[in-house]
Amino acid sequence: MTRIVAIVLHPGFQLLDAAGPTTAFEIAERFRPGSYTLRLLAPGGGQVESSARVALSTTPLRHRLLDTIIVSGGEIVRSAAAAAEIVTWLKRAKARRIASVCSGAFLLAEAGRLDGRRATTHWGSTDHFRRRYPHVTLEPDRIFVRDGEIWTSAGITAGIDLALALIEDDLGPEVARHTAQQLVVHQRRPGGQSQFAGLVEMGGRTGRFVELIEWMRVHLSEPLTVERLADRAAMSPRHFARAFVEETGTTPAKAVERFRLEHARTGVENSHASLDQIAESAGFGDAGRMRRAFLRTFGLPPQALRRAARG
């Protein structure tokens, strides 16, 4: 069965938003011939220039039979007319699944495709997205989000993660794994929250929480409640929680878990300490709780990551 995958472009699209998924599907096709046919679509068709001024050849948007639609991100505001045409097309488009890469989520949201759903987009656009589309439940700490037949992904390279997940959904984990190996990337990228890592590392948009984050990393084995963190920041718990989300795009609890996962993963892959010892030093308390966090974030238990790291 051949699945027609349409990647929708607009003037100023991000080249990797299109090239990353295209390459992933191309490689998957090598392992399972006849699985995919790729199409590049755009308003009016013809040559469409990317933000890097590299142009790709496209065919016009039409309501043809499509299996998967992937909307690229980039400089959407470069052409309001093209964006409006894509939104109109998306409102009526029929496909087994519809997806977006990076800021392409704005076009899906504008078309009403994300109303009442969970979604993600580039971390730098989360505040604007939340204000503009309050009926969408934004999950900014995710590399990609699947909500039924709608898939959204984070910034730029996350389009490859998205494509690998779509390939696995179609053809199974073995083909997705071989495709990832050819691309020399992780089949499931370590750390679901890595898309905004830089923002958290800097202590937020203004660097307001730099010292607090450094302190958190040193004290991971201790209880790090919102109340304790707020006290350390000399703020009320409610004010602190709100300010932390505004600065970093994530909650204090999710940031703490991410730091604990980073610490634990390093221990799992690079040390000979027992899983109980690693769990205690990372602040998980016990190996069972750490295992559940690994499965939720990495999709694999600690033992599997340790085996993979050791060849």
Task: Of 249, 158, 240, 265, give the one whose Cα is nearest residue 198.
Answer: 249
Catalytic residues: 102
Q: Hunting for tokens 């898309």 — which residue is that?
A: 195
- The angle at the Cα of 209, spanning 203 to 210, to the nearest 5 degrees, equals 60
Residues composing the chain: 311
Task: Of 123, 98, 82, 135, give the one whose Cα is nearest residue 6.
Answer: 98
CA distance readout (Å), 90 to 71, 95, 98, 108, 179? 9, 10, 9, 7, 29
Task: Of 187, 191, 162, give the one whose Cα is nearest residue 174.
Answer: 187
Q: How far apart are CA 113 and CA 33, in angstroms?
A: 32
